[in-house]
């Protein structure tokens, strides 16, 4: 284990990604501390930098913000819609303004910056309600399919949701410029996903937007979002917005891939190989979300083997148990040697390919 009295340049890179330092200041600090490096420190400089943590307090902060966002959206009832367009607009505006004011005040203090950022993200989450209320009150759907109740925004795909999604994405971008907090990317990432589906529904017509087409849109959206986020991460950023973008990219790609219909056995095996590829992508970009969905995909394929191919085999459960124990052992092996594996990969990658790794995944 590294001596906590020493810092690694990676700690400064993490501070840049979290928005604590800007890139120029971090580079100057590296140069200054490098000149104070003692002999025998092997590239490390004595300094004490507090490590980020995610404890019960942070869990409660995030849970509270998510409950507020869900309460005004996913769990709103039909009675909530009975307030009418003007009432919904006033409610969304009052909630959004109140959350923003409180979040802005908390953001000013270092010890409450996290709940402040979460409340600002929740304020952004009120934008769809405000836009829906305005459109409902004025009955101006701009030729789009009137979507019905606000609760349906989180349940059904319709072209009429487009203004709500575009407004939320714009609000997220504006908030992120003022408050470099990663969770603000969460409502933007999901609205981007909703936008891809609803835009396709609008272009094809809601009635012609089949379930098969929805799966394909979700799959290709995941690919495009991954590439865009990958390019975005080639340079250091003020906050780790990419975490939520990668999470949504992995979710949408994996969901679109998993729910594709295929009666071809080799196609199912290819599905397993793609999920194994997600494990390699996870290592390359330094994001565990792809590893989680990759493991889920491999387990899905193994379930297919158990219930369809080898359902009458007595030995298959034992062989699969041994395979599962091997996976556990492999996970322990990787956990203990992950740093060494990443360093080895960094060493053998050609310079051109190493330059394509996202900034947080590189060894500087």
- In this predicted structure, what is the pLDDT of residue 245? 83
Residue 138 banded pLDDT, cuts 50, 70, 90: confident
- Would you state the pLDDT for residue 5? 42
- Which runs of E-coded beta strand occur in 62-214? none
- Cβ atoms 240, 182 nearer than 8 A: yes
User: Residue 342 pLDDT > 50, yes or no?
Assistant: yes
Helix (H) or strand (E) holding 276: helix 265-285
Average pLDDT over the chain, rounded to an integer: 75
Rounded Cα–Cα distance for residues 346 and 362 (Å): 8
Calculate ∠ Cα 353-357-361, nearest 5°. 140
pLDDT of residue 144 exceeding 60: no
Most confidently modeled of 58-67, 148-157, 224-233, 285-294? 224-233
According to the model, what pLDDT value does residue 48 have? 41
Alpha helix stretches (DSSP H) within 179-311:
185-204, 211-232, 242-258, 265-285, 288-304
Mean pLDDT over 283-296 rounds to 80
143 confidence band (pLDDT: 50, 70, 90) = low
Tokens 């729910």, residue located: 259
pLDDT digits 0-9 by tens, 113-130: 888 898 899 899 889 888
Half-sphere exposure of 300 (CA within 13 A, CB side): 21
Q: Report the distance separating Cα 140 and Cα 146, nearest Å.
A: 9
Average pLDDT of span 294-306: 78
Our CA angle for 352, 13, 285, nearest 5°, is: 45
Average pLDDT over residues 195-219: 73
Indicate if the pLDDT at residue 51 is higher than 50: no
Distance CA 201, CA 230 (A): 27
- Looking at per-residue pLDDT, the higher value among 170 and 286 belongs to 170
- Is residue 235 within 8 Å of residue 359, measured between CB atoms? yes
- Round to whole Å and give the CA distance between 118 and 17: 17
- For residue 27, the model assigns a pLDDT of 66
Give percent of the chain above pLDDT 70. 65
Tell me: pLDDT of 146 over 80.
no
Pairing of strands 6-7, 45-46: antiparallel
């Amino acid at each position: 284990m590294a001596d906590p009295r020493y810092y690694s340049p990676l700690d400064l890179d993490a501070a840049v990604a979290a928005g604590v330092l800007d890139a120029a200041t971090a580079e100057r600090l590296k140069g200054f501390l490098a000149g104070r490096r003692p002999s025998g420190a092997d590239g490390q400089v004595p300094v004490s930098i507090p490590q980020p943590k995610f404890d019960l307090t942070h869990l409660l902060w995030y849970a509270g913000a998510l409950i507020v966002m869900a309460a005004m959206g996913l769990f709103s009832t039909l009675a909530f819609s009975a307030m009418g367009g003007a009432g919904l607009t006033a409610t969304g505006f009052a909630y959004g303004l109140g959350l923003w004011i409180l979040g802005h005040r908390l953001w000013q203090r270092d010890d409450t910056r996290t709940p402040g950022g979460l409340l600002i993200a929740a304020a952004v989450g009120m934008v769809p309600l405000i836009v829906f209320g305005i459109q409902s009150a004025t009955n101006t759907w701009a030729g789009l399919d009137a979507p019905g109740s606000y609760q349906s925004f989180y349940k059904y795909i319709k072209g009429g949701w487009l203004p709500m999604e575009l407004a939320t994405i714009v609000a997220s971008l504006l908030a992120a410029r003022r408050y470099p907090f990663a969770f603000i990317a969460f409502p933007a990432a999901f609205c981007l996903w909703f936008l891809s589906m609803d835009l396709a529904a609008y272009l094809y017509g809601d009635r012609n937007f089949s379930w098969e087409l929805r799966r394909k849109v979700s799959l290709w959206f995941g690919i495009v979002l991954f590439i865009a986020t990958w390019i975005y991460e080639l340079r250091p950023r003020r906050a780790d917005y990419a975490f939520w973008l990668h999470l949504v990219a992995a979710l949408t790609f994996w969901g679109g891939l998993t729910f594709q219909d295929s009666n071809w056995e080799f196609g199912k095996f290819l599905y397993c190989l793609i999920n194994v590829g997600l494990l390699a992508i996870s290592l390359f970009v330094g994001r565990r979300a792809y590893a989680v969905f990759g493991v889920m995909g491999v387990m899905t394929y193994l379930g297919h083997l158990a219930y369809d191919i080898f359902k009458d085999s007595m030995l298959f459960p034992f062989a699969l148990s041994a395979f599962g124990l091997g996976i556990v052992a492999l996970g322990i092996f990787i956990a203990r040697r992950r740093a060494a594996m990443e360093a080895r990969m960094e060493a053998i990658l050609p310079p051109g390919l190493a330059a394509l790794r996202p900034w947080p995944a590189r060894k500087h």
